[in-house]
Amino acid sequence: MTAESLAQASNYLIAAATVILALAFVAHVAEWALSKRVAGDSDRATSSEIAAGIGRSVTTLAWGILLASVVSRGLAAHRVPWGNMYEFGCAGVLLLLTAYLVLVRRWGSTIDWAGAAVTGFGTTVLGASMLVYVPAGPLVPALHSYWLVIHVFAAMLAGSGFTLGAILSIAHLLKMRNEDSLVRLPSTARLDELAFRVNAFAFPIWTFAALIAGPIWAQHAWGRYWGWDPKEVWAFITWVVYAGYLHARATAGWKGRAAAILCLLGFATFLFNFIGVNLFVGGLHSYAK
C-alpha cells in the first residue's frame, strides 16, 4: 500500500472506531438504565448483564479498529503516530481503552461498571480530535528526535492513567453522597483504593515524562532543560496537584472527599494543558496543527 492509501485507510478506520465506540457507550448506558430500575428483579438484572456484555465486546472491537488506524497512520507518515494534537488524541484513547480492557480482565466487577464513562470519554476525545485533524505527513525539525517516542508516549500513558483515576474519583464522590445508592459501584473505600492505585501507577510515569524525558529533550533541542514554556508550566502544575493528592491521602482531614477532589483538579490541569495550552496559549510546544 502506498502512503496515501494508508493515510486514507487510517482516516476511515478512525471514523469507524468513533462510531463503534459510540455504540459501545450506548450499550453501557443501557446496562445502567436496565440495572437501575429494579435491583431484585432477576430478569432485569439479566438484560442489564447482556447489555454490559455487548458493551464490552463492542468496546473490544472499537479498540481493534482504533489500533489498526493508529498503526496505519504511523506507517503512512513513517514515524510514531503521536506527533501532533490529532494523533495524540487518537493514540491516547487507544491507550485508555487498552488500560481499561486490561483492568476489566484483572479486576473484573470492581472496574467493569466504568464502561460507560470510558467509552463516553473516548468517543468525545476521538470526535474532538477530528476538529484538529492534520493530514498524515512528516514533522517539523524540532520533533525529529527519538525523544518524541519516549517523552510523548510516557505522557499519553500517564494521561490514560489519570483519566481512569478521575473516573474512579467521580464514582467515589457520587457514592459518598449515599453509600447504599449505585449498587453496581464498589464501596467508597474500595473506590478510593482503586483510584489511588491507578494514580500511583500514573504519577511516577508522569514524573518521568514531564520532569525527566522532557527536560533531557529540551536540553538537546532548545539548550535549556527547563524554560517555563506554558506546556512545561502546566505539566509542573499537574505534577504538583497530583503530588498534593498523594499527600492528601496521608493527611488527617484531607482523606476521602478532599483527596478525590484534588484528583479531579489534577486531571483538569492535565486536560487544560492538552486542550487550552495547545489551542489558546501557544509557546514552544505548539504542535496542535
Residues contacting 105, CB < 8 A, separation 6+: none
Stretch that binds another protein, among 27-35, 98-106, 166-174, 205-213 (CB under 8 A): 205-213
Which residue number, 30 or 241, has a Cβ lying nearer to another protein?
A: 241
User: How near is the Cβ of 27 to another protein at its closest, in Å?
Assistant: 29
Residue 8 near another protein by CB under 8 A = no
Residue from 233, 271, 275, 288 in contact with another protein (CB under 8 A): 233
Residue from 8, 47, 124, 145 in contact with another protein (CB under 8 A): 145
Q: Cβ of 271: how many Cβ atoms within 10 Å?
A: 17
- Between CA 121 and CA 29 the distance in angstroms is 13
3 state SS for the chain? CCHHHHHHHHHHHHHHHHHHHHHHHHHHHHHHHHHHHCCCCHHHHHHHHHHHHHHHHHHHHHHHHHHHHHHHHHHHHCCCCCCCHHHHHHHHHHHHHHHHHHHHHHHHHHCHHHHHHHHHHHHHHHHHHHHHCCCCCCCCHHHCCCHHHHHHHHHHHHHHHHHHHHHHHHHHHHHHHCCCCCCCCCCHHHHHHHHHHHHHHHHHHHHHHHHHHHHHHHHHHHCCCCCCCHHHHHHHHHHHHHHHHHHHCCCCCCCCHHHHHHHHHHHHHHHHHHCHHHHHHCCCCCCCC
Set of cell numbers at residue 267: 486531571
User: How near is the Cβ of 31 to another protein at its closest, in Å?
Assistant: 25
Residue from 2, 37, 42, 141 in contact with another protein (CB under 8 A): 141
Which residue number, 44 or 190, has a Cβ lying nearer to another protein?
A: 190
Residue 267 near another protein by CB under 8 A = no
Residue 153 near another protein by CB under 8 A = no
Measure CA 283 to chain center. 24
Residue 37 near another protein by CB under 8 A = no
For residues 83-122, which are near another protein according to CB under 8 A? none
- Between CA 147 and CA 214 the distance in angstroms is 8
Residue 236 near another protein by CB under 8 A = yes
Residue 253 near another protein by CB under 8 A = yes
Residue from 98, 124, 207, 286 in contact with another protein (CB under 8 A): 207
Residue 144 near another protein by CB under 8 A = yes
Stretch that binds another protein, among 46-54, 64-72, 171-179, 239-247 (CB under 8 A): 239-247
Residue from 71, 216, 264, 279 in contact with another protein (CB under 8 A): 216
User: 194 with 111: CB under 8 angstroms?
Assistant: yes
Residue 220 near another protein by CB under 8 A = yes
Residue from 45, 54, 221, 264 in contact with another protein (CB under 8 A): 221
Residue 142 near another protein by CB under 8 A = yes
Residue 31 near another protein by CB under 8 A = no
Residue 165 near another protein by CB under 8 A = no
Note the residues at the interface with another protein (CB under 8 A): 134-135, 137-138, 140-142, 144-145, 189-190, 192-193, 200, 203-204, 207-208, 211-212, 215-217, 219-230, 233-234, 236-237, 240-241, 243-244, 246-254, 262, 269, 277, 281, 283
